[in-house]
Amino acid sequence: MSTARDTVAFLGTGTMGEALLTGALAGGLDPDDVWITARSQEHVDALTASYAVHGTTDNATAASNARLVVLAVPPEHLTDVLAEIAGQTQDGAVIVSLADGITLADMEALLPHGVAAARAMPSLTARVGHGLTLLTPGSSCSDAQADAVTGLFERSGRVLRIAEDQHEVLSPLSSGGPAYVFYLADAMIEAGAVRGIPRDLARELVTEVITGSAAWLRADTDEVATLREKVCAPGGTGVRRIATLDRLAVRAAVVSALTQAPEGP
Ligand SMILES: NC(=O)c1ccc[n+]([C@@H]2O[C@H](COP(=O)([O-])OP(=O)(O)OC[C@H]3O[C@@H](n4cnc5c(N)ncnc54)[C@H](OP(=O)(O)O)[C@@H]3O)[C@@H](O)[C@H]2O)c1
């Protein structure tokens, strides 16, 4: 974990911005080195009261006080916010976008010449210090700037530096991943409830199972299928329940959901 002192601005502090803020502060970032923005003054006031950071609705002011500027606004606001902060950033500042589908080239075209840009795709698990951030520093980033951005995200978890063209294929697993794990957890808790187990007890069991399974998965080099087989003795209830999942094409549905373009607009 990085211990380097750096000033940080989170422009937009909603679901993801607040998760990163929470994780980074717990990871040792000094609140006095942090600026946050939101659209409404009420939201800014609530955040500054909760976290003792500096806050404003003025993105340019926040950006001018930071070396690392994290754009955590909804993607449709990105262009406007970049225009607001253009010319207001410090020498050597790095602008980090979290917006899916907005390329480094898009960003660099909107930034004044020479301002460094990076693209990051974090996970909401940052809020509990177990984040996983896919990071691509732009070619405009020096090694020291890229390390500073890495250090910021490492305060709330792991960082994986990837090529920009890997974002599209990796982010459904990493950034979107908690949604699928929660989907399964929710279904398991529901199964418990159907059999009369109180939901809070079922949740406790499922949480321990997910935590233990993740620790086992990390510790063991066997294939994942082999680990599953260890839990499923031939002819036993476990293997027959997995057979039911296969008959319902759950595995195929998961592969399909995570690889095909999602339905809707
Ligand atoms: N949520 C995730 O799991 C996730 C995962 C990976 C990446 N991301 C990315 O993270 C970014 C933020 O997503 P989110 O889920 O955190 O969105 P969100 O919950 O809607 O939060 C957006 C925040 O931006 C603020 N905001 C909007 N326009 C602004 C402006 N012009 N200036 C300053 N602040 C402004 C909002 O302020 P108010 O609260 O005052 O309205 C709000 O605090 C997006 O690019 C998204 O793709 C999200």
- Ligand 1 center to residue 196 CA distance, Å? 39
Q: Which atom of ligand 1 is nearest to the CA of 100?
A: 47
Structure tokens at 107: 């960003």
**81-127: pLDDT as tens digits:** 999 999 999 999 999 999 998 999 999 998 988 899 999 999 999 99
- Ligand 1 center to residue 39 CA distance, Å? 10
For residue 121 and ligand 1, the question of a CB distance below 6 A is answered with: yes
For atom 4 of ligand 1, the residue with the nearest CA is 16
Structure tokens at 264: 């809707």
pLDDT value of residue 262: 82
For residue 100 and ligand 1, the question of a CB distance below 6 A is answered with: yes
Q: What is the mean pLDDT of residues 182-198?
A: 98
Q: Residue 55: beta bridge partners?
A: 36
Domains, the chain, with CATH or none: 8-174 (3.40.50.720), 177-259 (1.10.3730.10)
Structure tokens at 195: 């059999």
H helices, E strands: number in the chain = 12, 8
How confident is the prediction for the chain on average, in pLDDT?
A: 95
Instruction: Please list, in sequence order, all residues whose beta carbon lies within 8 angstroms of the beta carbon of residue 32, skipping any fewer than 6 positions away.
Output: 52, 53, 54
Q: Which of 18, 37, 39 to mutate to test the pocket of ligand 1 (most atoms within 8 A of CB)?
A: 39
**39-81: pLDDT as tens digits:** 999 999 999 999 999 999 999 999 999 999 999 999 999 999 9
Q: How many CA atoms lie within 13 A of 216 on its CB side?
A: 15
Looking only at the bridges linking them, the beta strands covering 157-161 and 94-97 are: unpaired
**Residue percentage of the chain with pLDDT more than 90:** 92
**215-250: pLDDT as tens digits:** 999 999 999 999 999 999 999 999 999 999 999 999
For residue 21 and ligand 1, the question of a CB distance below 6 A is answered with: no
pLDDT value of residue 1: 46
Residue 5 has pLDDT above 80, yes or no: no
